[in-house]
Structures are given as C-alpha cells and as structure tokens.
Structure 1
C-alpha cells in the first residue's frame, strides 16, 4: 500500500508547492500516535499542523460526527436553520472572550480571515489594515495581502493595496537591538502608530495579529504588547482582529491565546483545533459588527456543515471536561524546562520559546550572529521521523523546530520525544 499510495501522489496529487512530503503513509491514528501502512508507530508532535488538539479520533468527537451523519450531512446553513450550527454558535458566544457573540462559519482558516477583513470593512466603512511582519493568515489573495512572510507570498502578487506592516514583537530577532521584552513590546507598539501615521491614508479598519505567531516561528509576544497596542488602536478607533486559527482551542494553556494578554478582540477567527480534524472555521464578532453585512455580501456553501459542527460541539465538551487547556499549560511548562536544559548543552539551539504546547526551538549555526540553521532543522526533523517522532519545521528562515502535539499526549510520550530530539541534536552536530 505504501508504494502504491506514493505513486498515486506523484502522478495525480498536486504537491509541487511543498519541497517534499514526509515519507510516511498514514494508515490510522489514535490519541497522540500515528501508524503508517507498515504498522510502524510514531509519536505525533505536530498534530496535523496543530489541528487534532483533543487527539486523533477522540471517541466522543467521532461518535458525535457519526450520529450526525445518520441524521443530516448537508442542507445549507445559510439557506435553512440547522440546529448543530445554531448550538455551536451559542456555545462559542459563551466561551470566547468579552462581548464576542455572532459567528459566521466557513471551512478553513483562510476563509475565516477573509470574513473578518470584509466584516471590519463593512462595519467601519474604512478600507485599510495594519498587520505584522512574520505573520501568516492564509493563502488566498486577501489573506496573503495581510501576511508578512515573504516566503509565503512570492510569485503570488500583486497583492491588495491598503495594507501597512509593523515589526512583529519578536524578542529574539528585532530591529531595535535589544533583548529586553518590555522594550521590544514598547517599541513594537509604537511602530503600530508609526505605521498608521506614515504608511496609511488614515482610513484603517482593523489591526490583525496572531496572539502567538505560528508559521513565523512560534513567536510569543511579550506580556505587555497587546495591551500597549490596544491603547493605540482605541485612540484611532481601529478594530482588533485576533487570528486564533492556530493558537486557539487549548493549544497555549488557555482556551484562546489572547486570554494570556487580558485583551478583548473585536473580531476573532478560529479553525484548525475547532473540530479536532473536521473542516470548519468560525469568525466571531460583537453583534453590531457581525450585523454590518448586508444581504448578498457574503456566503459559504459548506460553512456550518452539520457534521463538522456536531464534531466541534463534542470537541468543546472534551476540552472543558478533560481540562485540555490546563493539561497543555502544565505539560508545556515541563517541555519548555527540558528544552532549555538541552539548550545549555547544544550550541545549535539559539532560542526556546512557547506557550502551552505551542513550542518553537530556533536553531542557529552561531549564537553570536544568530545565523539561521535551516539545513540542520531539516536534518533533525528527518532524524526524529526515522526514530518514531513527528515534528514540524517553520519560521521565516525554515530554522525553527515546531512542537505542537495533541494536548492529550502523555508524559511518557513526551519524555520519549524529547529523548529522540536530544539524540538528533547530538547526531546532527557531530555530522557538521
């Protein structure tokens, strides 16, 4: 089966947009374990790009989806009243921060972000946006227009006008020549106002940011950053769009990462972990913002699919019943502490950062110059895979190891994964 699946991919599946696929043919998965077509087990520390937060094939989520399939698969959530969509929207209004109340459902994070951008324009009557360098918000023209990552944007332009960029609050690499988190927060917040004044026409609808920047390299903003930014936004009457596509649903130790910062967004977008693997996204906003759309201005054929909504409802129950955010927070602290011990031993590690089980390990060939070690990151990922552990690689320079396992991963699995990672560092550094 393995060779035949690979052959079919090569002949019939478009994959030219990735350098290479991981040579693993996934046959099945359970919890934090993936099994390939030959029966080999892998500890999954990437969770389908931070999607299966409640674990692969969680029994409660799977049962809810199966039960819904027997009742209704599709009718059109924006044509008829569909109970699972209504129930999920109500639950999201109760668990999301502040006054967020009305939800638009779609299928992917990019669609959710597109909705947020259009919603902000409709409500404010303005047309411009402020975004961050190193950010990633999706792969449509609109979402790439507010993405600050060159590698994701090349050969796709020209992009939409009316987008200004400010420096990401990236403490390890920032343009202010400081490693003081408070100073980075202050300078980066000041640059939001600078962007408004000198890169826009004063017609800014919203500022969009990930509470933890995922594809940019698991960049965790300093504690004060979003509060300082919100003060600037309020001064100019600019909305705040929180992109929780990757950081939401327990990943960072809170149900939503923005809760770490004590800030209430005006619009928030969720996807990935929302339904534990079923395709769904949600853009939630204050009622008056959501109601700014007029008939005919927006729609999604499959948005709010009953099966995906049923899975999302069960997934949210699992999150709360099993305290998966709390589990992520506790496990993340242990992993971060052990990774920092590894950093003391391995010169290849330039920085260790993260919140909960959203963790990045930035690799450099020289700690003084911080030269990115992309080849070594690729080699370490390969070593880990060969020894039964799946991790991700990201960052602007492709030099950040990404550890984002299902939140149900147990301590023994984490210990094994870290042991393999340690072995990988020893092996790759010895080969340098």
Structure 2
C-alpha cells in the first residue's frame, strides 16, 4: 500500500491521540536511512526518538533475533525463566554504575521502568513521596505522567494526576535557573511540600530529554547525592534517552562519577526491540516481596537476544568513541551556524546528544518555537527526519544513529543549513 492509502486507513481506524501527524509511512530502513511506502528516501536524525543508537536493523541484532525465533518466543519469565533474561541481568549488573552489587528487573518500556523504580523505592524506604524536576520526562502511564515536568500534551484531558509527586527546578542557566537556584528550590520543596522523612526518592534525568537536552552539572549531581545520603532518600537516575552510548559513555551519569541507588533504561538498549530495565543496589532491589515485580511480556526472549547483541556491537564497533567523535562534528557545525545565523544560539552537546536553540536574538533569548516547527517541516520535505523539543518547543535535537555514515551525516546537515537560510534564521 502507498502513503495515501495508508493515511486513509489511519484516519479511519487509529485513535486521534495515538495517530502521527506524519502522512508518510515507513516501509524499510537501514542504519540512518529510511524509505517510505512511496519509495521516498529519508535521512533519519531522530532514531525513533533515541532508540537506534546503532542504526536501523543492525545485522548482528537482526541475526540474534532471528536465531532466538527458532528457539523460543515466549513463556513469561515469571512462569518459566530462560537464559536470555538472566544473561541480560548479569550484563547490566556488571556495567551499571550503581552503588554496590547490582540486581536487575526487566520491563517493556521506559515508563514501565520508572513505575517499577518508584514501587521499589517505596518498598525499600517505607516512604511515599517522590521528587522530580521541571522539564523532566518519564513516560505516559498515570504515575509517570504525574512525574513529568511538562503538562501538555502528556497530561491534557486525563483528569487528576496521582498525588505525592513533587517538583523542583532543574538547573538551566540559559533560561535563568542557576545551579544555586535549583538547589535552593529543591530545599524549598523539601521544606514546604515533601519533607525528607516522607520522601522515598529524588528522580532526574542527567540530561533532560524531552525537556531540551540540558545536561545537569556534575557539581549539582554530587550535591543531590550528598543530600540524599544525608536524608535517607534514594537517588534514581533516568537514562531512558541518554543511555547506551548516546553521550559518549555507556550512561550519561558516568560523566559525573556519581553512583545512584537505582537507574532506569530503555530505548537503545535493544536497537528497536521493546525492553527496559531497572537496575539498583541489591538490598534496594530485593526490598519488595515475591511476585511483586514483573509482567507477562517483561524481558521477552527476543528482546533479550537483541539486547545482548547490542552490548557486543557497542564493544566491537567502538560505539562510545564514535559517539564522542560524532558529537565533536555536530558541535563544530552548530558553532558555525551560531556565528552565521542570528537566531541560532546555545549550541550544546554531551557526546552525540546534541542540540541548539532558535531564539529571537542572542540577547533576548526569547524562544522561537514557530521557527523550529518551520525548519522541521521543511527538512521533512527535503528528505530529513528532524525533531524539536524543550519546554518552549524551540530546541532542535539530534538523535541520528551513532553509526551514521559520514556522507549521509553531511547530507543531512546540509539540508538543515538550507532550511536555516530559507527561513531567515
């Protein structure tokens, strides 16, 4: 079927809240390129929103999934466990920088991982409250919607959110929130809304994802660690978007040297197969009772096979080094644009987790979300998939596969430069 035929079916049968506004439909893809149902080639700078760090259909992952399909597709691991689940748990325990010996539970999505992290934190501490941060994004389930630091579109129309979730400011100096102000805001949250004796955990992304690709300063993360230690609060780090090589480390928190009590991860963990994980200190992870964690499909055999193959690829193909080099290339190009275009500002990256702002002027820093929307629209027309994000919708973020070929990367960057020129940026 072609795009037009599929669009007609989508309009008739797919719920409006779940339907993409995109009228193109993916047919097949390889690494950083994708072809739609009409045969049009697209360069992918979105990577399924950070899911494809090693590219579409990496051969080693495809082979691992095919081999697993010939052996076992499903048993429900709580009924009849299997090798893949325990091997993924072993690998994550060995590489995840939480305190002490780590234990693992697997789930299907980032939101599921966050839901379970909160359950585990409450069980381990006997305390109910959770503190999150402005701009944070943790999922679309009911509790994770309450945890999100951005209301629309994630909470719109869905009624009252679950209680006992409180918020503090995230340090974004460019938009007027210094590290000192963020810490002061956290202290006020504890003083006025969620006292330490009632707070199970503080949850944050070390680099805001949907919130704009702002990295938390190392000193801020260390201050959180000390505060949690002093007040018997668990530190939960959400690496769903920033994990598995995107920042030049396996996990973004490694840049700071801070060790959380619990970490959540998903997205690029299995190169497109649905899987996520909660990894934490053994005593914390063992706090809840038998059969208190899990689900019918959690840690499926095919997803586990894909995850183990991803670990092999990360090591064998120097994905962390490639991510650092890709980040350097993006930063250099962004800095050229910042000097060339009046509306491009605040270029930034941590490894290949890179972004820049579109603003009215470098002095006012007033966001221009309409310019970001215009550029992403023009880019799509020219054959480039590009995403915006941020609290103000004016950030262009870059999540192309780390494995992208140099000529494909250059072609995509040239399209963006054309769009910047055409829109008067």
Give the C-alpha shift of residue 399 in structure 1. 1.3
Question: Secondary structure of 2:360's partner?
Answer: strand
Query: For residues 157 and 366 of structure 1, do their structure 2 counterparts lie closer, same or farther at Cα, with a shift above 3 Å needed?
Result: farther
Secondary structure of the equivalent of 1:215?
coil
Write the deviation string for residues 33-52 of structure 1: whole angstroms up to 9, x where unpaired: 11112322221111000001
1:330 aligns with 325
Question: For structure 1, which segment, 290-299 or 78-87, has the greater mean C-alpha deviation from structure 2 after superposition?
Answer: 290-299
- In structure 1, the partner of 2:189 is 195
Q: Which residue of structure 2 aligns with residue 66 of structure 1?
A: 66
Q: Does 1:15 align with 2:16?
A: yes
Matched-pair contact (CA < 8 Å) for 1:186–1:228: no
Instruction: Please say which of residues 191-200 and 123-132 is displaced more in the overlay.
Output: 191-200
Alignment of 1:96 onto 2:72: no
Q: Counterpart in 2 of 1:174?
A: 176
CA offsets, 1:223-254, max 9 Å, x none?
A: 32201221111111111101000000001111
Give the whole-Å Cα distance in 2 for the aligned partners of 1:24 and 1:346: 31
Q: Distance in 1 between matches of 2:188 and 2:225?
A: 14
More deviation, 412-421/192-201: 192-201
How far apart in 1 are the matches of 2:96 and 2:180?
27
The residue aligned with 2:240 is: 245
CA distance in 1, matches of 2:364, 2:101: 44
Task: Answer yes or no: is 1:205 the counterpart of 2:200.
Answer: yes
Q: Deviations over 1:367-394 (max 9, x none)?
A: 3332221111111011111112111111
Q: How high is the TM-score relative to the length of structure 1?
A: 0.94
For residues 85 and 385 of structure 2, the distance between their equivalents in structure 1, rounded to whole angstroms, comes to: 34
CA contact 1:192–1:229 (8 Å) conserved in 2: no
Pairwise CA distance, 1:296: 4.1
- SS of 2:17's partner is coil
Counterpart for residue 178 of structure 1: none
The residue number in structure 1 matching 2:424 is 429
Partners of 1:201 and 1:223 in 2: how far apart?
25
Distance 2:227 2:176 in 1: 20
Shift of 1:222: 2.2
Q: Secondary structure at the match of 1:150?
A: coil
Partner in structure 1 of residue 127 of structure 2: 126
**CA-CA distance at 1:191 after TM superposition:** 2.6
Alpha-carbon separation, structure 1, partners of 2:36 and 2:155: 33
1:100, 1:284 within 8 Å by CA — same for their partners in 2?
no
Q: Which residue number corresponds to residue 143 of structure 1?
A: 144
Q: Is the 8 A contact 2:225 2:260 kept in 1?
A: no
SS at match of 1:34: strand
Query: Which residue, out of 275, 278, 289, partners 2:273?
Result: 278
Q: How far does residue 423 in structure 1 lie from its aligned partner after superposition?
A: 0.8
Count of residue correspondences: 421
For 1:371 and 1:186, how far apart are their aligned partners in 2?
23
Aligned residues of 2:171 and 2:216 also touching (Cα < 8 A): yes
2-structure distance, mates of 1:128, 1:160:
11
Confirm or deny that 1:161 pairs with 2:158. no
The RMSD of aligned alpha carbons is 1.5
Aligned 1:13-412 pairs, distance under 5 A: 13-16=14-17, 21-98=21-98, 99=100, 101-151=102-152, 152-175=154-177, 184-202=178-196, 203-412=198-407
Per the alignment, in what secondary structure is the counterpart of residue 52 of structure 2? coil
1:411 deviates by 2.1
Structure 2 CA distance for aligned equivalents of residues 300 and 329 of structure 1: 36
Residue segments in structure 1 that go unaligned for 5+ positions in a row: 176-183
Deviations 1:119-169 (A, max 9, x none): 000000000111100111001111111111122323333122222211111
Residue pair 2:387, 2:396 contacting (<8 A) in 1 also: yes
What is the distance in 1 between the residues matched to 2:88 and 2:341? 46
Per the alignment, in what secondary structure is the counterpart of residue 372 of structure 1? coil
* In 2: Cα distance, 1:41 partner to 1:344 partner: 31
Worse overlay, 341-350 or 310-319? 341-350
* Unpaired stretches in structure 2, ≥5 consecutive residues: none
8 A contact 1:193–1:232 mirrored in 2: no
Does residue 1:4 correspond to 2:8, yes or no? no
Q: CA offset at residue 17 of structure 1?
A: 5.2
Alignment TM-score, normalising by the size of structure 2 = 0.96
Alpha carbons 2:137, 2:208 under 8 Å: kept: yes
In 2, distance between residues paired with 1:353 and 1:288? 38
Tell whether the 8 Å contact from 2:75 to 2:81 is kept in structure 1 after alignment: no
Q: Which moved more, 1:227-236 or 1:122-131?
A: 227-236
Partners of 1:70 and 1:408 lie apart in 2 by 28
**CA drift at 1:100:** 5.3
1:258-317, Cα deviation, whole Å (9 max, x unpaired): 101111110001100100000011111111111111124333110010000001000111
